[in-house]
Amino acid sequence: MIKEVRTKKNMDFKCIIFFAFLLSISIKTKAQDRPEFLPEDINLSTLNVKCFCKPGVLNKSRSRGLDLSFGHLLGEILEEEEGFPFQDQPSELKNVQDIKASLKIPVLNKEGLKLLVGYFFKSEKYNFDIINSDYETILNRLDNQFLKSTGLELLLSKSIDEKFYASFRYRRLSNGDFSGLMSFDEKYAIDNATLIFGIKKNEQEEWGIGLNYSSGFRNSALLPFLIYNKTFNDKWGLESAFPAVVLARYNISSEAILLGGVKFQSRSYAFETNDFFDYNMNHSELRFSVTLEKQIKDWMWFDITVGFQKNFSTDFEFPNDDTQNFQVELSDSPYFKVGFFLSPPDRFLK
């Protein structure tokens, strides 16, 4: 009896060994591709290493190192602003052309810490068809004049842990009718600082709160904003910085991205008239647009934008005598832009 029990136990043990052997052969036969991560890859000494989140969500629009673009706003009419009636027929703009260029260079690129420095340039050129007698001196000075917004910037991004990060940007701008690529005259100077605290829930969703401070020749302002970025699936996503930018994203492929939505933008310039009187020109607008970002090859991309601009009032301020201030309204008009930019390939970022 005892011998039978031992024999049975030996048979059971041999069966277990036999089936384990067959299972191992089956695994080796079927596993033609080695998984990227196996238990033997575990290094116990690295289990307590701190992980850092990376700002941005999966499939987001492209980051840009070098960015060049040309924009064209079609003809507009300077209309009467309430309380500022024209004595003559309205002035008419043939177009407004803008040229943009920016360059960002990484100075520090460590895990969880990024530091970049950059230079940016933008010019707006107003071309008039008709200039009436109302504010003729100012508009003649503005006609065919390049109004520039240029400057230097510093960008710092710090990942606190696997969920939280902070970003800071400082810009020193020169806005006006100066010559050259940049001016250090305080008459044109604007200081701008932006601070963001972000929370990355996962690779598909992040949100954050921010503060933007600006101080310059016109005024000083501190404005809060909210960031929310969401990737819903392989195709659709949302990129926003309320209340200034809300864009829906459609990923056509890894090489083409479609963005559509609305942006609020504004800018102030300091310039002189022919009589050497200083004026500040301030304009703001909403731009509804659709943009296609398309990869050409590796780092090279181009983008094309078509849209419609809803203009708010354009103000002309005379710092030394506010009785000389006046306002006009520009009629709404279509807009398009073409550009070229460099963006690191996905494989380079991994």
Question: pTM of this prediction?
Answer: 0.79
pLDDT digits (tens, 9 = 90+) for 76-99: 777 666 655 666 677 888 889 999
Let me know if residue 303 belongs to a domain: yes
Let me know if residue 52 belongs to a domain: no
pLDDT digits (tens, 9 = 90+) for 107-121: 998 888 999 999 999
Q: Is 13 helix (H, G, I), strand (E, B) or coil?
A: helix
In this prediction, residue 29 carries a pLDDT of 38
Let me know if residue 18 belongs to a domain: no
In this prediction, residue 51 carries a pLDDT of 62
Please count the structural domains in the chain: 1
Let me know if residue 34 belongs to a domain: no
Let me know if residue 3 belongs to a domain: no
Which of 209, 210, 208, 212 is closest to 171 using CA atoms? Answer: 212
Structural domain boundaries, residue 167 = 66-349
CATH of the domain at 299: 2.40.160
Residue 322 has pLDDT above 80, yes or no: no
- pLDDT, mean over the chain: 82
Let me know if residue 168 belongs to a domain: yes
Which of 195, 192, 204 is closest to 153 using CA atoms? Answer: 192
Q: Is the peptide bond before 243 cis (omega within 30 degrees of 0)?
A: yes
Let me know if residue 22 belongs to a domain: no
In this prediction, residue 169 carries a pLDDT of 96
Q: Is 343 helix (H, G, I), strand (E, B) or coil?
A: coil
| % of the chain at pLDDT higher than 90 | 54
Let me know if residue 58 belongs to a domain: no
Place of tokens 């520090």: 108
Q: Which two tokens stand for residue 161?
A: 């842990």
pLDDT digits (tens, 9 = 90+) for 222-258: 999 999 999 999 999 999 999 999 999 999 999 999 9
In this prediction, residue 269 carries a pLDDT of 93
Select the more confidently predicted residue: 277 or 181.
181
What is the rounded distance in angstroms from the CA atom of residue 278 to the CA atom of residue 222?
26
In this prediction, residue 86 carries a pLDDT of 62
